[in-house]
Structure 1
Amino acid sequence: MTHAGENSDGLERLARALCALETPDQARALLSDLCTPRELADLAQRLEVASLLAQGRSYMDVSRATGASSTTVSRVSKCLNGPAGGYRAVLSRLD
C-alpha cells in the first residue's frame, strides 16, 4: 500500500479534482465518495480547530469547543503555522 506522499501523481490528480469542483454540493458529493463518515467528521473538526486557533483561542478552549484531542489541536497548530499554508489559504477565503 502506498501513502499519499509516495504517490505524487495521485495526489496531484486529487488536488486538480478538488479545484475542478464548482459548488459546495459538488465538493460534498466528492468528499462523501472518497471518505468515510468518520474521516469527513475528522476533516471538518480539524478545519474548525484551525479556524479557532487562527482567531487566537487557546489550545484548551479549542479542545473544549471542538472535542478535539490536545494532540489534534497541537498538530493542527503546527500545520497552521507551518510552511505549506493550506489552512491559512482556505481560512482567508472562508472568513
Structure 2
Amino acid sequence: MCNWHNNSTDELCEAFLSLKSKEECYAFLEDICTIKEILEMSQRLSVAKLLSKGMSYAQISQQTGVSTATISRISKCIEYGNGGYKTVIERLGEVEKND
C-alpha cells in the first residue's frame, strides 16, 4: 500500500463513488478543488486520451498547449503506472459508443 493510501483518501474515493450525476460531480469538484486544479486534471485526461489515439507529443502540445515534459510524464503513467488512465479511457470510450 502506498504511503498516501489512508482512511482520509479512502473516504475521498468513496465520496467520488457516491456521486450520482455529472452535476453532483461538478459541485463536489468546485467545493474541494480550485478551478485551476480541476482544469489541470481535465487537461491531463485530455492528453492521455490523445496519447491513446497515437498522436505525437508535438501534435498534442500544439493542440493543447501542454509542455512535452508534461506529456511525457502522462505517457509514462499510462505505460508504467497503475492502470488508472487506461481504465478511465476504456470506460469513457464505452460511454461514447453508447451515446
Gaps of at least 5 residues in structure 2 are 94-99
Query: Could you say which residue in structure 2 is the equivalent of 1:34?
Result: 32
Deviations 1:45-82 (A, max 9, x none): 00000000000111111111111111210111111112
CA contact 1:21–1:27 (8 Å) conserved in 2: yes
Tell me, yes or no, if structure 1 residue 78 matches structure 2 residue 76. yes
Q: Which portions of structure 1, spanning 4 or more consecutive aligned residues, are displaced by more than 4 angstroms?
A: none
Relative distance call for 1:38 and 1:79 in structure 2 (3 A) is same
Which residue of structure 2 aligns with residue 57 of structure 1? 55
Question: May I ask how many residue pairs the two structures share in their alignment?
Answer: 92
Relative distance call for 1:7 and 1:27 in structure 2 (3 A) is same
State percent identity of aligned pairs: 38
- Deviation string, structure 1 residues 1-45 (Cα, Å, up to 9, x no partner): xxx943521111111111111111111111111111111110110
Relative to structure 1, the CA distance from residue 66 to residue 5 in structure 2 (aligned partners, 3 Å threshold; closer, same or farther) is: farther
Contact 1:59/1:73, CA 8 A, preserved across alignment: yes
Amino acid aligned to 1:61: Q
Q: Is the 8 A contact 1:5 1:11 kept in 2?
A: no
Aligned to 2:18: 20
TM-score, normalization by structure 1: 0.88
**Alignment correspondent of 2:91:** 93
Work out which of the residue numbers 19, 30, 46 in structure 1 matches 2:44.
Answer: 46
| TM-score, normalised by the number of residues in structure 2 | 0.85
RMSD: 1.6
